[in-house]
Structure 1
Amino acid sequence: MNALPDRRLNAYRPDLAEEALRGSVEAPHYVSGTPAHVAVPVASLRPRPDAAAGIDTQVLFGEAVQVLDRANGWAWVKSGFDGYVGYIEETALSSGGAAPTHIVAVPRTFAYSGADLRTPAAFALSIGSRLTVIGESETRGTRYLTLAGGQSVVAGHCIAIDATASDDYVAIAIRFLEAPYLWGGRSGFGLDCSALVQLSMMMAGRTAPRDSDMQAAGFGTPISREELRRGDLVFWKGHVAIMEDEKTILHANGHTMTVAREGLDAAIERIGWLYERPTGYRRP
């Protein structure tokens, strides 16, 4: 019997499956879904429609999803960014509207109620949030972008949707230092080890799988420990770290509960008693 597809990236359940799985997965109904986008700063995606369920990952403001089903205040969705499947509260989603024009390029920023830093902040935004800009203005020398919802964001905190924050994804990862660790988190407000890799890559114009096991299985090329250099990845069972240089790693971790800088040798010794030695090394 063939193994069923990974449920994290393939939408199927006993009563329903995405159209792309017709012929691969048995289901009484298949749907293509309808487009929507996230309308809150960060939407948590869960394995089942239950606010008490753990977070598998998160979808950011303005990111697209395909809605496959709606019931009891929950939407069963597939992320348009990395294909992750899960449940999001319906109130976090919106349909229609113009396509995003800009992306937040700093770890965190605010959407203000007006084009002035002295006006109240309407909500916070994470790096990677996608914005639809309809105008711009200047107040006391600071440029602001006007969003479709009427709020304003500091222009210097954003880049065009097709631009990159840096060609060096490690330099982007460094900007997350001391951001809090959050299991399943994928934002500047809190993130886990694999999200640090994925978000940093995204802002450098590159794509990476969401979870560390996905990254370890086929992201980039396998290398030896002796070959490690800046930008390479070190994997443990359930964990990934980024090489800042030949001896130092950056990683979101449950030991400091932050994104931290640590010596590779020290990390291997510290982690080893619980998660054993590294399982592999890869060059993205």
Structure 2
Amino acid sequence: MGEAIINTAIASLRKDPNRRGELADEDFYGRRVEILKEMENGWSYIRTQYGYPGYTESRNLITEERKVGDWERAFKKLVISPFADILEAPSVRGVKIITLCKGALLSVLEAADLQGYVKIGLSDGETGFIKEGFLSEYKTGYTMEKEEELRYDIIQAACSYMGCQYRWGGKSPLGLDCSGLTFMAYQLNGITIYRDASIKEGYPVKAIPKDRKKPGDLLFFGGHVAIYLGEEKYLHSTARNGSDGVVINSLNPEDFLYREDLARRLEEVGSIFC
């Protein structure tokens, strides 16, 4: 039916077209989606750029063709801070327009001033200001030329969510599930992997022998996924009592971080570096 731009900080994608529907995924401000069907109750059935479908409230979307086109052509940067206020004026006293989170996209209109404020464009055509340090390069692709550097960047992106709570279907600093964490660690580096905890044809992660795992690869435990850190340790988002979010655990039985239940369930290792 057409394309749209997300116009809210975090757009919930639900399995049913109502607020009590199970949360399937989240997508962020400034991200493009495809509208598959418009419902009569104020909801739209959409598909994200990475192929994930769900229902979101229609008010979360900008559908005007001109605005969508302008946004697609705009030079954009990525919000990398966990949370960032967009202000009406380049001042700490500026009125807040909206608070965005890591993963959002903004159009950059002018270079930073002496106080570090960048003039940005919003997806609805309005303008505002944000601190330069809250923005990073918006990567839409990747190269294998510097494999070790890319592995390091993936791990750093994942570690930036340390301490965030577990949230089924989430992938923001307010809460993430296991595949939300792994997806964001890769997406922030310009790599689109499958959103769920499995290896799927058509995405860059491929199965490799378990003994060839390296930092930045993915560990699949049958319905659960983690990022391998090296030295038998891994980072994941877990709802296990006492962890309740993004933590580090180990495959080594001699390590106090060892989780026997997951070590026994390790089914395969996935990597884009193969």
TM-score (norm 1): 0.78
Q: What code does the residue aligned with 1:228 have? A: K
Taking structure 1 as reference, are residues 217 and 64 closer, same or farther at Cα in structure 2, changes over 3 Å only? closer
The whole-number CA distance in structure 1 between the counterparts of 2:161 and 2:30 is: 21
Please report the RMSD computed on the Cα atoms of aligned residues, expressed in angstroms: 2.5
Corresponding residue number in structure 1 for 2:23: 55
Deviates more, 1:65-74 or 1:142-151: 142-151
Over residues 202-229 of structure 1, what are the superposed CA-to-partner deviations in whole Å (9 max), with x where a residue is unaligned? 1112110111124599753323333332
Over residues 256-282 of structure 1, what are the superposed CA-to-partner deviations in whole Å (9 max), with x where a residue is unaligned? 22211222334441446xxx5212112
Quote the offset at 1:58 in angstroms.
Answer: 0.8
Corresponding residue number in structure 1 for 2:207: 222
Over residues 123-174 of structure 1, what are the superposed CA-to-partner deviations in whole Å (9 max), with x where a residue is unaligned? 22122211123335525x3232332322211122213434789832111111
The whole-number CA distance in structure 2 between the counterparts of 1:49 and 1:195 is: 21
State the SS of the aligned residue for 1:49. coil
Corresponding residue number in structure 2 for 1:264: 251
- Aligned match of 2:92 in 117, 128, 137? 117
Taking structure 1 as reference, are residues 108 and 215 closer, same or farther at Cα in structure 2, changes over 3 Å only? farther
Asked if the contact 1:41–1:124 (Cα under 8 Å) also holds between the matched residues in 2, the reply is yes
Asked if the contact 2:139–2:188 (Cα under 8 Å) also holds between the matched residues in 1, the reply is no
Q: What code does the residue aligned with 1:283 have? A: S
- Aligned match of 1:95 in 63, 71, 80? 63
- Aligned match of 2:134 in 131, 134, 157? 157
1:208 aligns with 2:193: yes
Corresponding residue number in structure 1 for 2:44: 75
Kindly tell me the number of residue pairs found equivalent between the two proteins: 247
Q: What code does the residue aligned with 2:96 have? A: A
Higher relative contact order by CA 8 Å / sep ≥ 6: 1 or 2?
Answer: 2
1:242 aligns with 2:210: no
Asked if the contact 1:216–1:282 (Cα under 8 Å) also holds between the matched residues in 2, the reply is no
Over residues 78-107 of structure 1, what are the superposed CA-to-partner deviations in whole Å (9 max), with x where a residue is unaligned? 11x211111100111112422252221233
Quote the offset at 1:189 in angstroms.
Answer: 2.3
Unaligned runs of 5+ in 2: 143-148
Asked if the contact 2:219–2:269 (Cα under 8 Å) also holds between the matched residues in 1, the reply is yes
Taking structure 1 as reference, are residues 164 and 78 closer, same or farther at Cα in structure 2, changes over 3 Å only? closer
Identity of aligned residues (%): 24
Taking structure 1 as reference, are residues 238 and 162 closer, same or farther at Cα in structure 2, changes over 3 Å only? closer
TM-score (norm 2): 0.81
Q: What code does the residue aligned with 2:223 have? A: G
Unaligned runs of 5+ in 1: 1-32
Asked if the contact 1:193–1:253 (Cα under 8 Å) also holds between the matched residues in 2, the reply is yes
State the SS of the aligned residue for 1:82. coil
Quote the offset at 1:253 in angstroms.
Answer: 1.0
Over residues 227-264 of structure 1, what are the superposed CA-to-partner deviations in whole Å (9 max), with x where a residue is unaligned? 33211211112110101112211111112222112223
Q: What code does the residue aligned with 2:110 have? A: G
Corresponding residue number in structure 1 for 2:145: none
Deviates more, 1:142-151 or 1:230-239: 142-151
Q: What code does the residue aligned with 2:165 have? A: P
The whole-number CA distance in structure 2 between the counterparts of 1:113 and 1:267 is: 49
Corresponding residue number in structure 2 for 1:130: 105
Taking structure 1 as reference, are residues 89 and 198 closer, same or farther at Cα in structure 2, changes over 3 Å only? same
Taking structure 1 as reference, are residues 53 and 163 closer, same or farther at Cα in structure 2, changes over 3 Å only? closer
1:45 aligns with 2:13: yes
Corresponding residue number in structure 2 for 1:277: 265
Deviates more, 1:107-116 or 1:230-239: 107-116
Asked if the contact 1:164–1:203 (Cα under 8 Å) also holds between the matched residues in 2, the reply is no
The whole-number CA distance in structure 2 between the counterparts of 1:217 and 1:267 is: 33
State the SS of the aligned residue for 2:18. coil
The whole-number CA distance in structure 2 between the counterparts of 1:68 and 1:157 is: 33
